[in-house]
A and B are shown apart, each in its own frame.
Chain A
């Protein structure tokens, strides 16, 4: 498994698709910082953080396209086969791919957040005293935000293993995730609460409360269920 994970990290580092998406996300982070800076009311680093962790739609776009490029490309190039006949079980192949994919998502999401907070903190100050409780809240919010991104990535990975085509995956990932957004936000709240999107959108309210445990449970359940579904599909797939 470890050797396969190392190979996946090499693919991630060399993937021009990943590098392009990462650069685009960083440009967007810079653009958002510029927008916050030009707002009538000065947006502090703390306020910018609260806004940035709820940019769910942007994360959906980023994760959906990244999944299509990083996972489906392997099916379209037929390079996925080499992982299988290289002596690795299909479970190892899926886990290694998910580990590298989640890592890529985490790095980009974290850097995206950091750019906005640091830029706004330099220009308008952080705007909040860093007490123990504030620091704790920040840590909890960052943890929920990153875990939410991984849950979203796992959902997109599952779609990738089902669709196997870059274009279809990008369309389905974005379409289905927006479908989940619709259910989460417009549907009955008790159903919405079971979706990772609902919890991502409510991070700033849930962090630091007992509600965050449900968020963690929903995120973890999403990762496990969709990750297993991706494996179950891949296990039965005849590869080209």
Chain B
């Protein structure tokens, strides 16, 4: 079983009367790319801020690399790269100077990491331009350069592609994929761009109104989202026989609630229905089901929230 890099156990955060996080249990496993999904105000940033040490929890526990004592968690943060909302930089410093401050704060020996991070994020050519003159996209890149400076084992990214142009988003995704694949970097990433998250993440956590609704792997998600015909019948055994022998359908799945999920010939529902009825099977219901990540999320939270 893979080790848990970050764990939250009954994590709760209250701001006066508002509950931002309500007893959240969550686990990010080593080498995962964890897509953290929720609408505005769902609690994503609050959880990331507690993880980064920017905000204090009201109750519950967090663990980082297996450590849960406050002092040890603070120490473990050295091994984590963070981008929390819009990256913060010293406006009167250049990109390299900002990275030098980070290098000193994290106690990273040698200055080669600065050049490497600038190169990896496409900021090698900014020269003496001060951070205050950077575009939003450049600031995002600088934030990523800061996060990558210590060659972290765990990256925590809160809305990291905000402000990036489409090319920047693709580049960003490729950098993260490469880090995950080549160095096994664990990534916790929140984003409103669900299609982008789907291309990147290996598992997902859905948070809504401060509660973590579900954590699933991408395989489980695909399984649940897969397009299929859901046929509810009175006699599943007979229906399976007819599907296999009469309709020559191979890809189907019999569920315990007398429903059969059929994954092929989805456009021939009328024919399937007729053959089942002619074979003496009562078809109680037949619908086409299957979601993309966005639809799945919307169905999960049961509304039209702004994801």
Q: Please give the residue numbers on chain A whose beta carbons come within 8 Å of chain B beta carbons, in ascending order.
A: 3-4, 6-7, 10-11, 14-17, 77-79, 81-89, 236, 238-240
Contacts and interface: CB of A to CB of B under 8 A. Distances in A.
B80 interface: yes
Contacts of B77: 84-87
A21 B107 CA distance: 30
Given A7-B105, A82-B105, 12 more contacts: A7-B101, A7-B104, A77-B88, A77-B90, A78-B88, A85-B54, A86-B106, A87-B76, A87-B106, A89-B71, A89-B74, A238-B49
Q: For chain A, what secondary structure do more than half of its interface residues adopt (helix, strand, loop), or is it mixed? A: helix
Interface stretch (B92-100, B240-248, B290-298): B92-100
Interface of B: 49, 52-56, 71, 74-80, 82, 84, 86, 88-93, 97, 100-102, 104-107, 146
14 contacts: A3-B105, A10-B97, A11-B90, A14-B92, A78-B88, A79-B88, A79-B89, A81-B52, A81-B54, A84-B52, A84-B53, A86-B102, A86-B105, A239-B55
A10 B100 CA distance: 9
A209 B90 CA distance: 46
Q: Which of A11, A81, A82 has the most CB of B within 10 A?
A: A82
10 pairs of A and B residues whose beta carbons are closest in the complex: A87-B78, A78-B88, A7-B104, A86-B105, A3-B107, A85-B52, A239-B54, A238-B55, A7-B105, A87-B77
A89 B69 CA distance: 12
Nearest to B53: A84
Contacts of B104: 3-4, 6-7, 10
A81 B88 CA distance: 8
B187 to A, nearest CB: 16
Q: Which of A14, A15, A86, A240 has the most CB of B within 10 A?
A: A86
Contact of A88 (B89, B91, B105): B105
Contacts of B55: 238-239
Contacts of A239: 49, 54-55
B97 to A, nearest CB: 6
A10 B99 CA distance: 11
A85 B90 contact: no
A3 B106 contact: yes
A223 to B, nearest CB: 24
B92 A16 contact: yes
B220 to A, nearest CB: 31
A237 to B, nearest CB: 8
Q: Which of A16, A85, A236 has the most CB of B within 10 A?
A: A85
B88 A236 contact: no
B132 to A, nearest CB: 10
A238 B75 CA distance: 19
A11 B88 contact: no
Q: Which of A7, A10, A87 has the most CB of B within 10 A?
A: A87
A15 B84 CA distance: 24
Nearest to A83: B105
Nearest to A19: B92
A240 B84 CA distance: 9
A185 B184 CA distance: 66
A238 B49 CA distance: 9
Contact of B54 (A4, A11, A77, A84): A84
A97 to B, nearest CB: 12
A75 to B, nearest CB: 10
Contact of B97 (A14, A87, A89, A238): A14
A240 B93 contact: no
Contact of A82 (B79, B88, B107): B88
Contact of B90 (A79, A84, A88, A240): A79
B88 A14 contact: no
B167 to A, nearest CB: 27
A77 B91 contact: yes
Nearest to A14: B93
A240 B54 contact: yes
